[in-house]
Structure 1
């Protein structure tokens, strides 16, 4: 049986990941405003944002299975979301370069009155970079809509020196975690 759901995200990366494991989906971007509350632990922040996105879409599609997700990067207890522009992306990369940081992704599945949330953390080390390398990467535009200002699945893969944990989590959706949550809703990918 094919798993079908609504994706409460416009992220092309999440669409690619769902397609990779054969999940049929329809994109229904959420109007939920992501919170970036530094007082919340990142694990709680990402699941709250993921659930908020899914519940927002549920208002328009109450009987559907809905997937919400949220990703942040944390370094030195500071949360890095998407950059506000090129200068912010350069700043983030300048701080992350040569360092280990943690990528947190929260997932929420909602169907009628049931919901489940979970999160996954993956450690990533970016290579040391010169200011010119950072500027060139930022100028290409790739980091401008990514948490932490890099795309491990794109040119940013060349920035990643090491990874400890789930690769798809860094892309924006932990596939093993999603498969486990789908099973709780009696949906099987395999």
Structure 2
């Protein structure tokens, strides 16, 4: 029996690498969601959102955006579709990717020597037909991990930001790349910080009636 296919609605190479390391080979289609506009629209309707809800909202928006395109003639055929989004909570504020180097430097000067919470939202859609076991269901959840940052000097902050990496990732840091030396430790699932929590994703997949091992291609 062929494996259940997964589509990842994300441009993140770290998310793709994490799934591949677990034996899952997803198709990738990048969403076109305007994240700021999506959050603003939701808050205009519902009021201020908690950081974990922002992550879930954006994960769902990305999944829905790509799902609308999957049904087209040019769209790839897939069974499940996963949208993810990560934000950093610091002092109750929500932070995604820095807009520029100056913002990244300012962010790191606030984070150094302190702790924040990285929230990663996951939204999973079942796109299988009824004859193929499809439920038409959708499930979501947010995983949260506390991150303890090292107390960087101004020179270290400048050098790290100059690599460009902090501009490409939520929270302006990584634990699996150049930012690894600047994180003293974490409390929770490391995958949440990288961008996809495999334990949470396994639970969500199970809620749609799919066993995790049915996703593996090896």
Structure 1 position 73 matched with structure 2 position 93: no
Contact 2:87 2:94 in 1 (8 A): yes
Structure 1 position 122 matched with structure 2 position 141: no
Q: State the match for 2:21 in structure 1.
A: 20
Structure 1 position 7 matched with structure 2 position 8: yes
Structure 1 position 142 matched with structure 2 position 142: no
* Higher strand proportion: 1
Q: How many Å separate the matches in 1 of 2:65 and 2:121?
A: 16
Aligned with 1:74: secondary structure? strand
Q: How many Å separate the matches in 2 of 1:96 and 1:115?
A: 35
37-46 vs 65-74, greater mean Cα deviation: 37-46
Q: How many Å separate the matches in 1 of 2:69 and 2:126?
A: 12
Q: How many Å separate the matches in 2 of 1:140 and 1:55?
A: 33
Q: How many Å separate the matches in 2 of 1:171 and 1:159?
A: 15
- Name which of 77, 95, 98 aligns with 2:110: 95
Structure (1 or 2) with the larger CA radius of gyration: 2
Aligned with 1:177: secondary structure? helix
32-41 vs 127-136, greater mean Cα deviation: 32-41
Aligned with 2:120: secondary structure? strand
Q: What TM-score do you get using the length of structure 1 for normalisation?
A: 0.95
Instruction: List gaps (5 residues or longer) in structure 2.
Output: 72-77, 128-135, 214-218
Deviation at 1:123, TM superposition (A): 0.2
Per-residue Cα deviation, 1:88-130 (whole angstroms, up to 9, x for no partner): 1111111111001000000000124321010011000101011
Contact 1:46 1:106 in 2 (8 A): yes
Deviation at 1:187, TM superposition (A): 2.3
Structure 1 position 86 matched with structure 2 position 109: no
Q: State the match for 1:56 in structure 2.
A: 65
Contact 2:18 2:191 in 1 (8 A): yes
Q: How many Å separate the matches in 2 of 1:165 and 1:3?
A: 28
Contact 2:4 2:80 in 1 (8 A): no
Deviation at 1:188, TM superposition (A): 2.1
Q: State the match for 2:176 in structure 1.
A: 153
Q: How many Å separate the matches in 1 of 2:171 and 2:111?
A: 8
Contact 1:17 1:173 in 2 (8 A): yes
Number of aligned residues: 190
Contact 1:2 1:22 in 2 (8 A): no
